Amino acid sequence: MAWTTLFRATRAFAALAVGLAAVGVDAFDNSRYDNVAIYWGQDSYGATHTDVANYQKRLSFYCQDDAIDVIPIAFINKFYGTGNAPVLDLGNTCNTSIDSTFSGTGLLDCSFLADDIQTCQSKGKVLTISLGGGGASVGFQSDSQAEAFADTIWNDFLGGSSSTRPFGSAVLDGVDLDIEQGGSTGYAAFVTRLRSYFNGASKKYYITGAPQCVYPDASLGSVINAVAFDAIYVQFYNNPCGLQVFNSASGFNFGIWDIWARTISPNPDVKVYVGAPASTTAAGSGYQDPATLANILTTTRNRFPSFGGVMMWDASQAYQNNRYDLAAKNALVAAGGTGFTFPACSAQAYVKGNNYPGSSQVSYNGYIWEAKWYASSTPTNDPNGDWMPISACAGNAPSSTSTAPGTGPTSGSCSGVAAWSSSSVYTGGQQVTYNGHLWTAKWWTQGDLPGSSVGVWTDDGACSSSKREEAPAAVRPRTPSRFFRL
C-alpha cells in the first residue's frame, strides 16, 4: 500500500538523523524519579484504529525530545523458531510481509533500524530488546537452555558478534522481560549469564522486567527475587490492582512492591515504575486521564523511595493521545527528579491485639498502613492480608489513644450498603449486608455466602438500616496485558 512505499522511502534518510544529535546530551540515570519508559514496536494504535496515517512511526520519530528516557523494543515473541533462532515481530515497521529473514531462520533482518537506534542512543536514551508479550511462545526447559539463549541474545542484539544481527551494527542497551506465561524455569540463569557478559563491558547494560501488579507475579515473581534487576515496570492495568483502584487500599498495591524493592530484591536500588496504558484503547482497564495520572504519579513518587517513573504501553498510543507521555513527563519533572524525603509516620502506632475497622491507618515498621477491612492481624506485606502499605514513613509515630484492645466486630449502621446478592461480583473492600450484619469482601468473590466456610467475607458486626443501594461495579479479573498486531 502507499504507506508502506512511503515508509520504505524514508529509510534511506535515517543516517542523517545521527549527525543532528545534540552535543553534551545527559546520559540516562536510572536512579532518578522522573524517568519515562515507553514500549515501541507493536503499533498498538494501528491494532485498534483504521487511520493509517497515524499508525506507528519509525523508531527515531519518538526520540526527538526529552519526554522518553527508555524504549523497550517489542517483541521477541518466540524463543525458538525456524533454524532454532528467535522470532522478532515489530508490527508495521519490520515484519515478514515486507522484510527478509536471515537464511535458514525466521529471524527478521531489520538492519535499516540501526541508524534509528544509534540516533536515539546519541540523545541519551536507553533502548532494550523486550522478550515475551501477551500471547508469546516463550520459556525454557532448563537452566542450560536458558544460558544458551542468553548467549544468542548477547551475540545477536547486544555486545557480542553474529552473522544474524537484526539491527546490524547497533548495540542495544539491555534486555526487558515481559514474561506473561510459560513459567519461570531458567530465567534466573538467563539473567545471570547476561550479567556475566555485562561485567567488564565497555558500556552499561540494563535488565528490566514487566510483572503484573498482582503480587507475587505468576511468571516473574521467583525470578526477580533471585537475581538483580535494574528496574521493573509493574503493569497496573488489565488487573484488579490497577490504576482504576488507586484510592482503594484493597486495590492499588504499589506499597507491596516498594517493600519488595527495599527488603527482598537482590538489588536494593532497583526502581519500580508505575505501568499505565497510554490511551483508552491501549488496554482493557486502568487508563486514567492525564490530570489523574499526574496526581497518581506525583503522590506515589512522594510516598515511596523505590519509585522510578512511569512505563507506558505504547508509543503509538501515547503520541496520538495528545502526547500522553509528555504530560506525564512534565508532571514527574515538576515533582522533582532527584532526592526523597520520607513522610512522617503521622498515623498512630500499631498496637498488637487491637481490632481496627476498615480504612483505619496505623504506623508500623517504617510504613503507614491502611486496613482493607476489619483488621486484627499485624501489618505485613502479605497481599491477601488485612493491611496495605500506603506510604513509607520515618520518625516516631503518635501513641495509640485506644484504652483497650477491641474484642471483635461491633454493632453500628449499614445505611446505604446493598444486600448481598449471589449473582453479583464483589472485589476486596466492597461491603454488603446479610442476616443483619455488615460484611467486607477480602478479595474477588461471586456466590460465596457471607459467614460460610469459604472465608472470603469479614464480619464487621451487627448493623441496622432500612436503606439499600446498588453495590459499586466490580473490577473484572486480569486479562493478558499486551497483544500483537498481526
Catalytic residues: 180
Q: HEC profile for 225-238?
A: HHCCCCEEEEECCC
Q: What phi and psi, each to the nearest 5 degrees, are found at residue 117?
A: -60, -45
- Beta-sheet pairing, 437-441 with 431-434: antiparallel
Rounded to whole angstroms, how far apart are CA atoms 28 and 282?
27
DSSP 394: B
Q: Which of 243, 189, 141, 192 is nearest to 481 (CA)?
A: 243
Map grid coordinates 515475551 to a residue. Answer: 132
Give the E-state strand segments of 40-187 in sequence order.
70-78, 87-88, 126-132, 174-178
Q: Which of 133, 158, 222, 151 is nearest to 190 (CA)?
A: 151
Q: How many residues does the chain have?
A: 486
Enumerate residues 6+ apart whose C-beta is below 8 A from 173. 121, 126, 127, 128, 203, 204, 205, 206
Rounded to whole angstroms, how far apart are CA atoms 419 and 439?
10
* Angle, CA of 57, 96 and 235, to the nearest 5°: 55
C-alpha cell at 423: 449473582
Q: HEC profile for 353-388?
A: CCCECCCCEEEECCEEEEECCCECCCCCCCCCCCEE
